[in-house]
A and B are shown apart, each in its own frame.
Chain A
Amino acid sequence: MRPRNSTSAGDDKIDLQMTPMIDIVFQLLIFFIMTFKIVAQEGDFSIKMPLAPASGPPNPNQLPPIQVRLTADGSGELAGIQVGSRPLGRDFGALRAEVLGIIGNDRGPGSIAENTEVELDCDYNLNYEYVIEAITHVSGYTQGGNVVKMIEKIKFARQRPAG
């Protein structure tokens, strides 16, 4: 009997088994599609609130804080904004303009914006979204896609009683 010649032209083509690979690839694809979830980006507003006042000598350049008062109606909706003793209605744009009027356009180290702090005094039942809205409007604004920072030091005033 003549042995089969393995180098003959008809045996050159090696058939790869594609089916298991395609199976696993599709399973992977289904896994990724099922676990895919569009999540909006999240960001933070940093606040530093030590219980005890900072030790060491106070910063001589530190300006008195800008008092922002946020009042709520019975259902937790915003009733009014007040900067110092000046009422601004419910307009957050006016809050930003007021803060800009105080700090001016000077930015950078040693500027008024850097040495000024905002103190938020909010009603107990005010919906938290208005606090974030207020923080957003005192922290800065976007101009042509760039963020222009205003005040970065933000703290809460003493908590108001419920009711």
Chain B
Amino acid sequence: MRIKPKRDDLGNAEGDMTPMIDMTFQLIAFFMVIINFSEAEVSEAVQLPSSQLAQPPEIPPENVLTLQLTANEEVIFGGQKMDVQQISGALSRERQILQLNNTPLAEVTVILRADRRAKTGVVQELISKCQDVGFERFALRAQQDTADLN
């Protein structure tokens, strides 16, 4: 009498997927934890100077304006490129919005992300334009350098 093979034995070899799924979920969890979506105001055109003492603030300021200055003296503000001379108009509009929201200008921090090759005079000009509008708190942004400063 001929013995029929069982149906399950007909070459239906399934690999164990569990370790692969475990690993994949761990990878996803890792990337989800470290992903950083807060790069809206970071332009690739700006290469920040590096500093050993530049550390992220423990309590980030509540009201911030980010001005970026490229090496060829272009200002990027609110995603728009403009000349240093044109920034006053944009800042005035920003002031009006802040005043409508009852935010005192003295509590607003202007974050300056200037390129390392930008001219200091242009940075000072930019600060001066902000001062003319009424801003007085500034934060000069630098990239953290992990080398020990001794």
Contacts and interface: CB of A to CB of B under 8 A. Distances in A.
Chain B interface main SS type: mixed
Interface string A133-144: 101100111110
A76 B118 CA distance: 9
30 contacts: A25-B24, A29-B24, A29-B28, A32-B32, A40-B143, A42-B48, A42-B54, A42-B142, A42-B143, A43-B51, A43-B55, A45-B51, A46-B109, A48-B136, A49-B127, A50-B106, A76-B117, A76-B119, A122-B121, A127-B120, A128-B114, A128-B115, A128-B120, A129-B116, A131-B120, A131-B123, A132-B140, A132-B142, A133-B49, A143-B150
A47 B24 contact: no
Interface string B53-92: 1111100000000000000000000000000000000000
B96 interface: no
Contact of B118 (A33, A127, A160): A127
The 4 closest A-B pairs by CB, nearest first: A43-B54, A124-B121, A32-B31, A44-B139
A14 interface: no
Interface range on chain B (Cβ under 8 Å from partner): 35 or more
A7 interface: no
Interface of A: 18, 21-22, 25-26, 28-29, 32-33, 35-37, 39-51, 70, 72, 76, 122-133, 135-136, 139-143, 145, 147, 156, 159-160, 162
A50 B131 contact: yes
